[in-house]
Amino acid sequence: MKKAEKVQFIIDTLEKLYPETPIPLDHKDPFTLLIAVMLSAQCTDVRVNQVTPILFKRADNPHDMLKMSEEEIQEIIRPCGLSKSKAKGVRVSSQMIVEKHGGEVPGNFKDLEELPAVGHKTASVVMSQAFGEPAFPVDTHIHRLMYRWGLSSGKNVVQTEKDAKRLFPRELWNKLHLQIIFYGREYSPARGFRIDTSVIEKVIGARGQKP
């Protein structure tokens, strides 16, 4: 199967499997999404969704977040892991949003990536899911599957993102990156992968694991 045929098969299959793509992290606006994504580093979405209601009851905007100390934030988000560094990131980012952006989360990559503790992946999630701007955030599932499907070298997430953006139509990026994540969790995990039960791989084949 040629690469273009693989890509189209993947698009068609994912659309059949996941016609609806609810955003995994519960939020109500760009700020609460930003904080949820920051907390999701090395933590499951399920755990984040258990913690954020408690945090957002105290502070669901950057002004109220600044009224809390790092220690208070840390105590609430402890179940998410890396709580000390995440608490610092949440508070200093809130401070910059207030001081530099009038309390509103900026809707562009440059300003988002200037926020402390906000990297390109986090900015990509916020841009795509909060502002509807085309982006292709690459998490571990997407990085793994792009290699497994023979669509990327697996060298690093930067290259994987470039390959994904080159191969998939821009207008599909925001929905497709979620569809790939859902598929990776359900059919093509890192461990216990079986090609005979994997809807896509049993048709297009699969590379041995690398990422």
User: What is the topology classification, in CATH, of domain 30-129?
Assistant: Endonuclease III; domain 1 (1.10.340)
pLDDT digits (tens, 9 = 90+) for 155-189: 899 999 999 999 999 999 999 999 999 999 999 99
The total number of residues shown for the chain amounts to 211
CATH number of the domain located at residue range(s) 3-21+136-204 in this protein: 1.10.1670.10
Q: 44 CB contacts (<8 Å, ≥6 apart)?
A: none
Would you say the C-alpha torsion 66, 69, 70, 72 has a positive or negative sign?
Answer: negative
pLDDT digits (tens, 9 = 90+) for 39-93: 999 899 999 999 999 999 999 999 999 999 999 999 999 999 999 999 999 999 9
CA atoms within 13 A on the CB side of 158: 2
Question: What amino acid positions are annotated as catalytic residues?
Answer: 121, 139
Domain range list for the chain: 3-21+136-204, 30-129
